[in-house]
Amino acid sequence: MTAENVVFGTGPLGLAVARSLVSSGKAVRLVNRSGEAPAAPTGAEVFAADASDPTTARRACDGASVVFHCATHSYGQWDKALPPIMNGIIEGAAAAGARIVYGDNLYGYGPVDGPLREDLPYRPVGPNTKTRAEVATTLMDGHASGKVRATIGRGSDFYGPHALQSKAGDGIFARALAGKPAQVLGNPDVPHTLTFIDDFGSALVTLSQHDEALGEVWHVPNAEAVTMRSFIEMVFQELGQPARLEGVPTLVINGLALFVPAMAAIKETMYQSQRPWLVDHSKYVRAFGGHPTPYKTAISQTIAWFRTA
């Protein structure tokens, strides 16, 4: 099967990109290590390849005009795993003459006072934030050198179908559906930008279709920031239940961070949950427009997915 659109990664974002492409009639090849993706949309090919191996990455990219980089790795292993993945995908896309659209997060900026904009410098504070800044720089350096054409779309903490391990994932939706209090990190009463995963996927597809997106970083459109308390209240309201939430004690996170790499990574970015986290996406809207899904609709769709998961 020939696929002009190759999507590395079958996590929440890769699947959202694939759904957006398939819904518009595009041929899609999803790539992961196993070659199996039960949640892949009907009609998508699934291809087994190790993205960190340039040889297999080239085979996965054969015939592609666009390569979507949505691949990631275990939260506590980013510093070791993500640079080889980026390098392998760059080699694969370059061999195919394909452009890369990288689905990134906001970690590289580090702690920020005021809105997050694309022109902010990178100020990492630990291994995960440093790695995200480094791999984004690697990709943009590859674009500047002419090796590959590339663009970066960045989203905030996401929620939606298949988004389990997220600040707005199973700790909120699965627990609420089970009749338990939602769990929240940090201060629940400061505004926080959240990204609906299908909006993120659609925005990356839009970036893939415009030459003016190349060589640039773009913050994808999001609904207006609300506090995590307000977001949780909307979830419980959709379920017809009184809202209940509980905080995860900082002492617990600090203690576990001494022994559990994933918890150390969570501790590294706790600043995102302790102060306002406001993402400015006006650059994207000026260039391409943008109509993020309203919370009520997005929450309803997320609950529907969690009910079947």
pLDDT digits (tens, 9 = 90+) for 251-263: 888 887 788 787 8
- Domain assignment present for residue 230? The answer is no
- Domain assignment present for residue 234? The answer is no
Domain residues for 136?
A: 5-159+194-223+278-292
- Domain assignment present for residue 93? The answer is yes
234: its two tokens: 């909307």
Closest CA to 93 of 163, 170, 167, 151: 151
Average pLDDT over residues 34-41: 95
Helix/strand/coil for 189: coil
**pLDDT surpasses 90 at 5:** yes
DSSP letters for 215-275 = T-EEEPP-PPPEEHHHHHHHHHHHHTS---EEE--HHHHHHHHTT-HHHHHHHHTTHHHHS
Q: What is the pLDDT of residues 147-185, one digit of tens each?
A: 999 999 999 999 999 999 898 999 999 999 999 999 999
Question: Can you give the pLDDT at residue 2?
Answer: 61
CATH number at residue 97: 3.40.50.720
Q: What is the pLDDT of residues 52-77, one digit of tens each?
A: 999 999 999 999 999 999 999 988 89
Give me the number of domains the chain comprises. Answer: 1
Lowest mean pLDDT: which of 4-13, 80-89, 163-172?
Answer: 163-172
- Domain assignment present for residue 182? The answer is no
- Domain assignment present for residue 200? The answer is yes
- Domain assignment present for residue 185? The answer is no
- As a whole number of Å, the end-to-end CA separation of the chain is 30
- Domain assignment present for residue 174? The answer is no
- Domain assignment present for residue 170? The answer is no
Mean confidence (pLDDT) of the chain: 95
Question: Can you give the pLDDT at residue 95?
Answer: 97
Q: How far is C-alpha 171 from the geometric centre of its chain's CA atoms?
A: 17
